[in-house]
Every structure is written in structure tokens, then in C-alpha cells.
Amino acid sequence: MIAKIFSSCVIGINAYEVTVETDITSGLPGFNIVGLPDIAIKESRDRIKSDIKNSDFAFPAKKITINLAPAAVKKEGSSFDLPIALSILASENVLDSSRMTDYIFCGELSLDGKLKPIRGVLPIAIALPEMDKKRLVLPKENVKEAASVRGIEIYGVSSLKEAVDFINGNISIKPSPGNADISLKKNSSYKVDFSDVKGQEHVKRGLEVAAAGSHSILLIGPPGSGKSMLAKRLPTILSDITFEESLETSRIHSVAGLLSPSKGLIGTRPFRSPHHTISYAALVGGGSNPMPGEISLAHNGVLFLDELPEFKRSVLEVLRQPMEEGAITVSRVSETVTYPSKFMLVTAMNPCLCGYFTDPKRECHCTPYQIQRYLSKISGPLLDRIDIHLEVPRLDLDHLTEKRRGEPSSEIRKRVDKARDMQKTRYKHDGIHCNAHLEPKGLEKHCTMTSEAIELLKLAILELGISARAYDKILKVARTIADLDGKDMIEAHHVSEAIGYRSLDRNLWG
């Protein structure tokens, strides 16, 4: 008898329906799985044999053929254990598969018949309506994650036996309905806050400007000056993550197996800070079976690259295209997948090899040649994409011992949100959301300056040797500063602040 059970498989961040068909015939006992299974699925044979036996069912001593349809698409992962086991039991008439046409089953089995949590549940739950299904049966641990999706019923089971009893109607399980907003709200608090940081007021201001215009930023300072600490707090002043954004980001994290089973949706903007030894595949995504990389995990959040010159050059160069397109397409022999990657880039570096070039108290040991070489590790095109350069000086003792706490993140966020609203209304018809994405044409249209501001900018170009490339950046940043100020025209003091954020162009080094 042929039995059909429905399951699902994830490619990239999208899920599609897979039908698990089982045919049991007479002949020498054997167990074969066809339909392009990967090693994990082939190995499920041995798990399922033990599971069926250990759940007090008889494993049929007959010839078993399993087909995973559509047969031409590669399947991977351990989530087919449960549907395959159920499908075998269904063709042995232990359960009635005709009652399960509306269900999708996913789950990994351990040898004793217990179910284990799997990766990529959220994309499956999201794709359920497309598959024309309403009900999803999952390992108990995965229920919270899937419950972020509205309009479906999710059933959590803990073992193969329980799943069989559920299908046969021997036990009833209460379905978990989608409770998306609750789980989002519950998770939406940060552990860090800007009020933890003492002093460094101008850096905080710089980060505020960056957050307001979504500008990428480079922090330069000696070791121990608080660069990482400041960067870590940047997500707290970005506007709250929306439900749609959270769903997108959580989906990527679900595929990567990083979603905490007890929590569900991600409620805060992600902050990813990969180590500088990272390979390009780990950064942008890849592998023979492609997995999302750090830039996709930082989607709708912050990607922080500490010790920027220590990253391999080839690794940094691959950042350029996804930064511009907001997505990365990974092509491999087996498949081609696209992961979204809209992130805010924050980088940090020392001013020279020893780290003390800009420090007023400690002497720098580097030769001019060494400094030059250290800085040249970052390519021009990449530097081009960084709008704001901020110097982070070492704190003196007075600031460190200060009792007064800094301004809390919530206050800064209010100003950022206001500036963001201004940009949204201004760029309604331009297809962009923030100042950082302004094109040259838009610059002309939206960055009107007072005559004083124009004079100041001219002077700066003449006196400071600012390049044409930097000119655009200064305009964009000045636009953001004016937005924070609530002004439609860019004024002289906006421009002068923006010039202050271009320290690398002012040739202070080398």
C-alpha cells in the first residue's frame, strides 16, 4: 500500500512542500530512499528502524521504498525523520494517512523515539499558506518559533508515539495559534544602553548622526578607548525593529539555526561582530550547501568589523556589492540562493600599528612608512562607502571616575526617529529611505545650502584638500545633521560638523 505524508524542506530562506511517499512490497527486506536525499536523510534509515522498534511498533520485514517528491530537487537536513517514520507506519496501516492531507510534519528523531528540535522552522511556517496547508506538526521545542506566523495551527509533539496517537485521535493536542506581537514585544529590550558610556560625547553625537541617516561609520582610536563598547550600543538608538523586519531577520537566523527555541522572534536589531580571521564565505554566505553569512545575520541591524585593517583584503572587498544592493546571491554547483543583507556597517581600527599615533600622552613607535602601510590595508573603494570617520580618543581619569551617567539611549532614539521621519517624507517619491542612499541627482535636489554654507564648503575644499568623493559624503552627512536639527536648509554649522567627520580625508595620517 502506498502512503503519503507531507513535509517541507528549506532552500536558501524559502521553504517548499515535499511529499514523502512510501511503498512496501514483498521481497527481500530492504529500506531505500530516493529523491536526491543528502547523507543526513540517508542515515535516517538506521534512526527510523530503531525508533519504530523502540516506540513499540513493528518494523516491516519487507521491501520499503521511500520517494521524496519532487524528485529532482535536492533535500537536506534531518527534519524528514518524522515524516518518513510516519509514512512507513501509514503504509503498514498503523495510522490513517488520508486524515493528514492538511498537515505538514517535520522533526528529527533520536534512537529512543523522542523528537529533537530542527533548524529552519520559521521559513516553513511562513510558507505554509503557499503550500495550501493549515497545520504544522513539530517537535515541542520549535513551537514558539513557528507560532510567530498568523493564521496557522501548530502542534508540538515530543515523540513518534505521541505523533501517532495524535493522528489516530487517541490524544488531543491544543494547537498554538500565532502570537507574533507578544513574542516580539517580550524580546524587545537591549541589555546595554548608551548611559553606560562615560564621556566620549562627540563620538556619541557622531553615532547619533550615523543612526539618523543610516551612514556607515569608521571609529579610529587607540586600544581601550571604548570603540567596541560604543559600537555595541548603536542598535539601541536605531528605531525599533518592526514586525516585518523581525520576521525577515528571524527567518535568516532560523535557517542558520541561531534562533533560540524558548524565545521565538528576534525583538531587537541584530548586532554581529565577526572576528577578523573570518573567511569570505562566512562573511557573505556560502559553503557547498549555502548558508547565510554574517552580513545576512546582521540584516536590519549592525555589522561591526573591529580591527578593520586585520581583515583579509579579499574578505573586505566582497562587502561592496551587498552593501549597495542590500542582498547577496550565492551561487554554487548545487544551487543558487539569495539572502537579504541590509545592514549598517560600523568599523573600528587603531590609527597605526602600535595604536598610539593619535594619543596625546603616549608615544607612537611607528615609522611614517609603517603608518602608511597600515592605513593602505583598507582599499579606497571600501573607504568610499564609509561616510563618517570618528576619532575616539582615550578617556582621561576625570571622565572615568565621573559619577554622572550619560544620556540614555531612549532619549537619543527619539531624536533619531524624528530625523528618520523627515527623510521618509522627503524621499517618498525617490525610492530610498535615508540620506546615506542619496544618488548624485538626489543630492542636488534635496541638499540645498545657505550661501554661508556654500562658502564654507568651498573654503574647506581649497584649504583642506578634500576630494570630490569626500564632497558628496560631506553633503549627505550635513543633510542628516540638518534633519536632526529640524531644518530644511543646510546651514554653515551643519557643514562644519560634517567636515569634522572626514578626518581620514584631511590627511592627518602619514
Partner 1 sequence: MRGESIAVALLKRKGYRILEANARTPFGELDIIARKNNFIIFVEVKTRLSSSLGPPSLAITRAKGMHIIKNALYYLNKHRLNESNWRIDVVAIKLHNARTIESAEIIENAITVDAYDYRGGWVT
Minimum gap (Å) between residue 28 Cβ and partner 1: 6
* Nearer residue to partner 1 within complex by CB, 26 or 425: 26
Minimum gap (Å) between residue 373 Cβ and partner 1: 54
Q: Which stretch binds partner 1 (CB under 8 A): 57-65, 253-261, 351-359, 451-459?
A: 57-65
Binding mask 123-142 for partner 1 (x = CB under 8 A): --------------------
Q: Answer left, alpha or beta for residue 355, where phi above 0 means left and psi between -120 and 50 means alpha.
A: left
Written as one string, the DSSP assignment of 350-367 is -SSSSS-TT-SSS-----
Read off the DSSP letter of residue 168. Answer: T
* Nearer residue to partner 1 within complex by CB, 25 or 189: 25
* Nearer residue to partner 1 within complex by CB, 61 or 397: 61
Minimum gap (Å) between residue 62 Cβ and partner 1: 6
* Nearer residue to partner 1 within complex by CB, 92 or 294: 92
Q: Which stretch binds partner 1 (CB under 8 A): 60-68, 121-129, 201-209, 336-344?
A: 60-68
Instruction: Work out which of 39, 56, 61, 174 binds partner 1, going by CB under 8 A.
Output: 61
Residues shown for the chain: 510
Minimum gap (Å) between residue 96 Cβ and partner 1: 24
- Give yes or no for a contact between 423 and 434, defined as CB atoms under 8 angstroms apart: yes
Query: Distance between terminal CA atoms of the chain?
Result: 79
**What are the backbone dihedrals phi and psi of residue 380, each rounded to the nearest 5 degrees, phi first?**
-55, -50
What CA–CA distance (Å, rounded) separates 261 from 254? 10
Residue 333's SS3 state is coil
* Nearer residue to partner 1 within complex by CB, 67 or 268: 67
* Nearer residue to partner 1 within complex by CB, 51 or 306: 51
C-alpha cell at 59: 518494523
What CA–CA distance (Å, rounded) separates 361 from 146? 55
Number of H helices, E strands in the chain: 21, 18
Instruction: Work out which of 19, 38, 62, 263 binds partner 1, going by CB under 8 A.
Output: 62
Number of residues counted as binding partner 1 (CB under 8 A): 12
What CA–CA distance (Å, rounded) separates 472 from 502? 11
Minimum gap (Å) between residue 181 Cβ and partner 1: 48
Which of the residues 19 through 48 are near partner 1 (CB under 8 A)? 26-32, 34, 45
What CA–CA distance (Å, rounded) separates 236 from 412? 9
Asked if 170 is part of the footprint of partner 1 (rule: CB under 8 A), the reply reads no
Residues binding partner 1 (CB under 8 A) = 26-32, 34, 45, 61-63
